[in-house]
């Protein structure tokens, strides 16, 4: 994959500096699969371990809680952000595009 975007990074105007849509979708699938496999392999004791970072532990006290959030809600949060950006840019809703094919 091309340039990796990081938390706190500053957007730039040069599209070629960003990964392609295919690269981003592939990375999303890979990370989703990695997380799912890690969850399936984890023991109940591993999932019950407290989070080491106190900032994260305030919201997700255990490793299992963090993984559950990541598997059920995190991706959806970002999909909602993309939907808002599409609307702000005057683009049709992505679900509308799928429904009209």
Would you say how long the chain is, in residues? Answer: 101
For residue range 84-98, list pLDDT tens digits in order.
Answer: 988 999 988 877 655
Q: Which position has the higher pLDDT, 65 or 9? A: 65
For residue range 27-60, list pLDDT tens digits in order.
Answer: 989 999 999 999 999 999 999 999 999 999 999 9
For residue range 55-80, list pLDDT tens digits in order.
Answer: 999 999 999 999 999 989 988 898 89
Distance (Å, rounded) from C-alpha 44 to C-alpha 87? 42
* Mean pLDDT score of the chain: 86
Opening angle at CA 7, ends 34 and 87, nearest 5: 90
């Amino acid at each position: 994959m091309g340039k990796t975007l990081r938390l706190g990074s500053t957007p730039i105007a040069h599209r070629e500096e960003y990964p392609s849509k295919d690269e981003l979708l592939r990375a999303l699938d890979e990370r989703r699969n990695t997380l799912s496999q890690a969850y399936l392999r984890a023991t109940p004791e591993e999932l019950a371990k407290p989070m080491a970072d106190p900032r994260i532990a305030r919201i997700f006290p255990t490793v299992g809680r963090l993984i559950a959030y990541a598997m059920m809600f995190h991706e959806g949060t970002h999909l909602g952000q993309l939907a808002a950006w599409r609307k702000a840019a005057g683009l049709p809703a992505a679900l509308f595009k799928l429904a009209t094919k």
